[in-house]
Structure 1
Amino acid sequence: MGKYDKVEGISKRTMNLFFIIDKSFSMAGSKIGTVNVAVREVIPEIQQIAEDSADANIKIAVLTFSTGAEWMYQAAIDAKDFKWSDINVDGMTDMGHAFKLLNEKLSRNGGFMTDAAGSYAPALFLLSDGQPTDDYQKVLNELKNNNWFKASLKAALAIGDDADKDMLAEFTGNRESVLTVHTSEALKKLIRFVSVTASKIGSKSSNAPVDGQDKTKQDDFNKQIVNFNDQLVDSQYDDWN
């Protein structure tokens, strides 16, 4: 139980942290293995952030995509109760299908944004090593009109040089929050950093969003990502093989 859970008068709002993970065949081997280890290891840190927060209850949702897309759980799970289930690879890279499911759940009507006490803008973390194999553009344009998506904190990891960084920048809205990794160690460090940073920034109270987006939070998020990435030195070789 968190130290603020029973404090009278405190109504904690929810901050949903979304992991959107490519599990196509090209992610086989050390890539998906590193993702599984990194997210599993960072969950306790997110749980601690949620426990220590006076403002927010953090929930976690995981959306995977290959040939089609699916949620790991059919609801966003309280961080304290979340159990990671290892992801296995298969199929193509139907990113458009993932965006469709994300758009459906970024809503109060049958979605994940329904808590009675209200919600902070979510944090969206997209990981991919390839290019979409379906027609994602129309669905992404529809997603961009979703007010929760507009307000969200966004980051993307391009795993290796084959990842479509232009498309990932379309998702995040800027190049600063698209990071490229070439080694399993760098991938693990960045998953931890982005997850923890998004949880800390996203779960803090702030002023009302400007034009549908909390500019202060997103700017702070981008700045911290860029600073961390500048300090992270990848190996001189690609170790995915």
Structure 2
Amino acid sequence: MSILSEATEIPRKTMIMFFLIDTSGSMEGEKIASLNDAMRETIPDIKDISDSNADALIKIAVLDFASGTEWITPLPQDFDTFRWQDLEAGGVTDLGEACRELNSKLNRNSFLQDKVGNYAPVIILMSDGAPTDDFNGGLATLKQNKWFGAAIKIALSIGQDADNDVLAKFTGNSELVIPIHNKAAMKRMIRFVSVTSSRIGSAKAGDGFGHEAKEQQVVAEIQAERQELDPEENIDEGW
């Protein structure tokens, strides 16, 4: 068999999906249970996108924040081996510390050290309340990070008490703050946002398809999906 006839696997760049998840006490009960269910069902869909992408290998990194922070994934993990472990709720909302902790990993000496290279990450923040620490200081530090600036950033605003102004500061775009008011919307939007952002974020750059174009496409697809929500999923009452 000649060398040319042998299949050669071309190394793929890595794109990391960061999930920053609020597990403070206000998330206890149906909120955290619905989040766990939605994440467990979404993981196989993202794995399929990664498996079918010839240019990018998608990995996951999960940061749990409440009274302090904890990386559920000490290092970014392949979706081939990742298994969702249910999160529990309790404590306050240290979102400022979560920003600082994310900043510490967004560099080539930490989570972005793939030898082939990295695509700009996708960062999905989920929260149902207001920060109880120095959020503005933490975000100011994070905003100095070029990887954060280039990332697709989406926030899921869970329930009536979520601080949408804070979440919009994080995403830099109020159109990327998605309200969730019940279990049905939680399940649908976590899956849709995760799948959509992973597909667009891992697309090969070029031909004008840079960061701004990717963000605009994410916004357009999310707006279209929200218009398709059933009334029971789109109500303003609930949590």
Same fold (TM over 0.5): yes
How much has 1:233 moved relative to structure 2?
3.6
2:101 match: 101
Is contact 1:209–1:215 with CA below 8 Å preserved after alignment? no
**Is residue 230 of structure 1 aligned with residue 227 of structure 2?**
yes
Is contact 1:66–1:91 with CA below 8 Å preserved after alignment? yes
* SS of structure 2 residue aligned to 1:176: helix
* SS of structure 1 residue aligned to 2:170: helix
Deviations 1:181-231 (A, max 9, x none): 111110110000000001111111012899xx7111111111111111122
Separation of aligned partners in 1, 2:8 and 2:236? 55
**Is residue 144 of structure 1 aligned with residue 143 of structure 2?**
yes
2:86 match: 86
Letter in 2 for 1:82: F
Separation of aligned partners in 2, 1:71 and 1:33? 19
Count of matched residue positions in the alignment of Structure 1 and Structure 2: 232
Normalised to the residue count of structure 1, the TM-score between the two structures is 0.92
1:3 match: none
Is contact 2:159–2:238 with CA below 8 Å preserved after alignment? no
Deviations 1:140-176 (A, max 9, x none): 0111110110000111011112100001000001111
Separation of aligned partners in 1, 2:60 and 2:207? 23
Alpha-carbon spacing, 1:10–1:89, altered in 2? closer, same or farther (3 Å) = same
Separation of aligned partners in 2, 1:230 and 1:107? 37
Question: Displaced runs of 4+ in structure 1, greater than 4 A?
Answer: none
1:181 match: 180
2:11 match: 11
Deviations 1:28-74 (A, max 9, x none): 11100010000011111111111111111000010011000110021
Separation of aligned partners in 2, 1:154 and 1:179? 11
Percent identical: 45
Letter in 1 for 2:90: D
Query: Structure 1: which 5+ residue stretches go unaligned?
Result: 1-5
**Is residue 190 of structure 1 aligned with residue 189 of structure 2?**
yes
Separation of aligned partners in 2, 1:224 and 1:144? 25
Letter in 2 for 1:172: T
Separation of aligned partners in 2, 1:79 and 1:92? 30
Is contact 2:34–2:187 with CA below 8 Å preserved after alignment? yes
Separation of aligned partners in 1, 2:172 and 2:124? 13
Separation of aligned partners in 1, 2:25 and 2:231? 24
CA RMSD of aligned residues (A): 1.7
2:123 match: 124
Separation of aligned partners in 1, 2:7 and 2:31? 43
Is contact 1:120–1:203 with CA below 8 Å preserved after alignment? yes
2:3 match: none
Is contact 1:151–1:209 with CA below 8 Å preserved after alignment? no
Separation of aligned partners in 1, 2:171 and 2:223? 14
Separation of aligned partners in 1, 2:190 and 2:211? 22
1:216 match: 213
* SS of structure 2 residue aligned to 1:57: strand
2:58 match: 58
How much has 1:237 moved relative to structure 2?
6.4
Letter in 1 for 2:143: K
Letter in 2 for 1:203: S
